[in-house]
Amino acid sequence: MSKQARLAAGARLGRRSFMTLAAGAVAVRGSLFAAEAAEGVVLPALPYAQDALAPVVTAQTVSFHYGKHHQGYVNTLNKLLAGTALAGKPLEEIVRATAGQAGQAALFNNAAQIWNHTFYWNSLSPAGGTPSGALAEALVRGFGSVDACKAALTEAALTQFGSGWAWLVAEKGQVRAVKTPNAETPLTQPGVIPLLTIDVWEHAYYLDWQNRRADYVKAVIDQRLNWAFAAANFARSVAGQA
């Protein structure tokens, strides 16, 4: 199927299938963010082989980051959810319901980290590439140029003190770069649609780059961003589907 046909099919099928198709994954589960009631929240499959992002993100890093950290959030969340009113709810609903709620921090942190990490794996692509089409036009409108967009994303990633995330987001078609600490996510901000994210927790880069966060961020932005995924997310923003 051509890229255009895939995007059109995604628009017809709605958001969940759209993200699966945009990521180039086979729609086996139906959603990258699947939350089947019977088995609890599940760890979505990686959209590529564990060694596909090397040398920017090596198989060793992916094996720990996906296999231990991401899986760990899934295991912990399912324990925390057992017997609560949120058990069996979709992951995004759990994230939104617990954000900023007193006494719900553990649920929020684990649920949001699952969502953020799934979004991160889909924000990366073995082939990398460059933004095109309506997204590229929006980046030029918002930042002045694609290079200026990359510089703003870099600044967000490097100025996030301690653990957190750098994001490219859109709101009503307007793009900007933001950062969030710890498990915080733009998903909880009404009207804001995440386009891409870069994990800047130390576990994301320390095995490959040690303390050199700047080198990791530059390599990811130059060589491994999934601009097709960002474009698909941006299309939803333009359509006004918050």
Q: Which is nearer to Mn ion, 66 or 229 (CB)?
A: 66
Look-up of token digits 């979709």: 90
Residue 23's closest CA among 98, 127, 110, 100? 127
Q: How many CB atoms lie within 10 A of CB 241?
A: 11
Pick between residue 92 and residue 199 the one whose CB is nearest to Mn ion.
199
In the complex, minimum distance from the CB of residue 66 to Mn ion, in angstroms, rounded to a whole number: 9
DSSP string of 136-203, one letter each residue: HHHHHHHHSSHHHHHHHHHHHHHHS-SSEEEEEEEETTEEEEEEEETT--GGGSTT-EEEEEEE-SGG
Binding residues among 24-83 for Mn ion as defined by CB under 5 A: none
Q: How many chain residues bind Mn ion (CB under 5 A)? A: 3
Site map (CB under 5 A) of Mn ion, residues 194-223, x = contact? -----x-x--x-------------------
Considering only residues 76-135, where is the footprint of Mn ion by CB under 5 A? none
Closest residue to Mn ion: CB criterion: 199
What is the nearest approach in angstroms of Mn ion to the Cβ of residue 201?
A: 4
Tell me how far, at minimum, the Cβ of 233 lies from Mn ion, in Å.
20
Between 84 and 211, CB nearer to Mn ion: 211
What's the CA dihedral at 35, 30, 114, 57 to 10 degrees?
160
Question: Considering beta carbons, is residue 210 or 241 the nearer one to Mn ion?
Answer: 210
Residue 42 beta carbon to Mn ion: minimum distance, rounded to whole angstroms: 18
Residue 69 DSSP code: I
Looking at the Cβ atoms of 62 and 228, the one nearer to Mn ion is 62
Integer Cα distance of 181 and 111 in angstroms:
15
Site string for Mn ion, 161-200 (x = CB under 5 A): --------------------------------------x-
Cis peptide before 55 (omega within 30 of 0): yes
Least gap, CB of 133 to Mn ion (angstroms): 30
What phi and psi values does residue 88 have, to the nearest 5 degrees? 85, -5
Cα 237 from chain centre: 15
| Residues at the site binding Mn ion, with contacts judged by CB under 5 A | 199, 201, 204
